[in-house]
A and B are shown apart, each in its own frame.
Chain A
Amino acid sequence: MSISARNVSKRFGDFVALDDVSVEVAPGSLTALLGPSGSGKSTLLRVIAGLERPDSGSVFLGSENVTGRPPQDRGVGFVFQHYAAFKHMTVHDNIAFGLSIRKRPKDEIEKRVAELLELVQLEGLAKRYPSQLSGGQRQRMGLARALAVDPEVLLLDEPFGALDARVRAELRTWLRRLHDETHTTTVIVTHDQEEAMEVADEVVVMNRGRVEQVAGPRDLYDRPANEFVMTFVGQANRMGDAFVRPHDLELTLEPNGATREAMIERILHLGFEVRVELVRDDGVQLSVQLTRDEAERLELERGQIVFVHPTHETTFS
């Protein structure tokens, strides 16, 4: 089931959340809506779900225009950042909710719930209440609940935002694997570019209610459409009009004609990666990324004078 948002605009009072936004999501794909706070990504997701009505524009699910339809008639599954768990129901009843609304026979419901509990690895917790679960468990329950009614489209609104880093990483991998098995058209909203790159087939970068670029993770990083995308997705050093990635800055101990002089301000050891923060002779601050081995070989020290030059530059006209 494809998703198509066409010329969607939405404002809240004076604030323009979406400004003539059009997005196409291919069936069976996992697409990320990536952007900073206020970029409109959550609003767009909610418009697709039917939880917000656009001021203008339309939403198509497959070939059907669903713009006027309420969320209960769209066949979408929605997962909320803060879980939206039904606090007064057990895990079992939470997951079974959509099916019991549709008045499915009891044994069918039991079977489906058992299947889903196994899928999300919450077996044995069926009789617990959401307040007795950890954040990660609650979100897995939220996912199971959304999947229970076999939605054509799965929408996730910053689903891992409220969880700690380790759980977030685990669930990310788990979500991707789940998608590879089920092939449900999925859209995930995130402000974490690493998450978007890791999980999605295609990334829609948004900023201030507009779409900046739509591309796969690799193209997004290697061929950013503009300054915003370049600096939002990955790190970038600004050198005059040009932008240089930290790993495209070569650091040498001797000058060689193309290099500029710089002094090391800080050396950060981030596991495999070593980040060297420099200040160039004209005061410009730069960030260079090296591997552990490279850094060791150069025997770098704080306060040391070194020489840098970019091996690759990007400029935007």
Chain B
Amino acid sequence: MSVRRLGLRSVAVGYLAVILVAPLGLVFYRTFVNSASAAWEALSDKDTRHAFQVTLLAVGIAVPLNTVFGVAAALAIVRRKFPGKGLVNAFIDLPLALSPVVVGFSLYLLYGRTGWFGTYFLRHGIQILFAWPAIVLATIFVSVPFVAREVIPTLREVGDEQEQAARTLGATGWQTFWRITLPSIRWAVIYGVVLTTARCLGEYGAVAVVSGSIQGKTETATLRVQEEYENLNFAGAYGISLALAAIAILVLILMTALRPRETAH
């Protein structure tokens, strides 16, 4: 092996090792260095369990919603002509471009006491900010682009000839969608869902601004890591981090397993 190739590989592997592997490895180590039971106790804490429930709620609402939106938007953008199509396409990417803190702040302005929508909700006794609805809203917003971005190029590449064929064979629009279109973008949708889930789990900035991080009420698991660390409850912080990291690694494995399928199809 030439020296140059060896050097390039070392650089790549070394970079990954420093940026990714070492920090993760450290989390693993620190979690169990004191004792496994301390970490377990931290995870069984009432407030921690509640934080995971809030995370689950946010993911459980945001992912299906953004999946349906992503597929619908992709179909509209690729298969239809309408005024402002380019603008819609660009707007879908907006959550990627905006800082999450800006997202949180704009939600704050909208739903706060003097906000545009805030006054309506206030009148009807519904609390948005500093409660779970705000967390869900923020999570939905930041994870909007992923399914659409995966499906759009796949839909374009597949083309609509199969759909035309289905129509000539007697299929209605709905039948064509379920039996022909959806199966042809199956892997792109799955990959998009995996990315969306990962994003929802990891969101900090936007959720932190709108939730107030009230222990036992409006904390997500990710927020709680920060909370535990600030309260010097390191076992708790590392324990929750480990749980989230384990989920992330699972997501990573899924992403890698699905990706070759996408190109070979």
Contacts and interface: CB of A to CB of B under 8 A. Distances in A.
29 contacts: A51-B164, A51-B167, A71-B164, A71-B167, A71-B168, A72-B167, A72-B171, A72-B172, A76-B168, A78-B164, A78-B165, A80-B164, A80-B165, A82-B161, A84-B161, A84-B164, A85-B162, A86-B180, A87-B265, A88-B184, A97-B169, A97-B171, A101-B170, A102-B170, A145-B165, A145-B169, A148-B169, A149-B169, A149-B170
Interface residues of A, number: 24
Given A70-B167, A86-B166, 11 more contacts: A72-B171, A76-B168, A78-B168, A84-B164, A84-B165, A87-B184, A88-B184, A97-B169, A101-B171, A145-B169, A148-B169
A77 interface: yes
Contacts, number: 57
A200 interface: no
Nearest to B172: A72
B168 A72 contact: yes
Q: Is the interface of B mostly helix, strand, loop or mixed?
A: helix
Contacts of B166: 86, 97
A2 B118 CA distance: 66
Interface of B: 161-162, 164-172, 175, 179-180, 183-184, 186, 265
Interface in A73-102: 76-78, 80, 82, 84-88, 97-98, 101-102
Interface string A2-27: 00000000000000000000000000
Interface of A: 49-51, 70-72, 76-78, 80, 82, 84-88, 97-98, 101-102, 145-146, 148-149
B169 A84 contact: no
A80 B161 contact: yes
Q: Which 3 A-B residue pairs are closest in the complex by CB-CB distance?
A: A98-B169, A84-B165, A78-B168
A68 B126 CA distance: 50
Contacts of A98: 169-170
A98 B161 CA distance: 16
Nearest to B175: A101
A257 B162 CA distance: 64
Which residue, A98, A145, A148, A149, has most C-beta atoms of chain B within 10 A?
A98
Contacts of B186: 88
Contacts of A84: 161-162, 164-165
A101 B180 CA distance: 12
Which residue, B166, B169, B179, B184, has most C-beta atoms of chain A within 10 A?
B169
A86 B168 contact: no
A77 B162 contact: no
Contacts of B161: 80, 82, 84
B189 to A, nearest CB: 13
A86 B162 contact: yes
A98 B179 CA distance: 12
Contacts of A78: 164-165, 168
A121 B5 CA distance: 53
A80 B180 CA distance: 16
A316 to B, nearest CB: 40
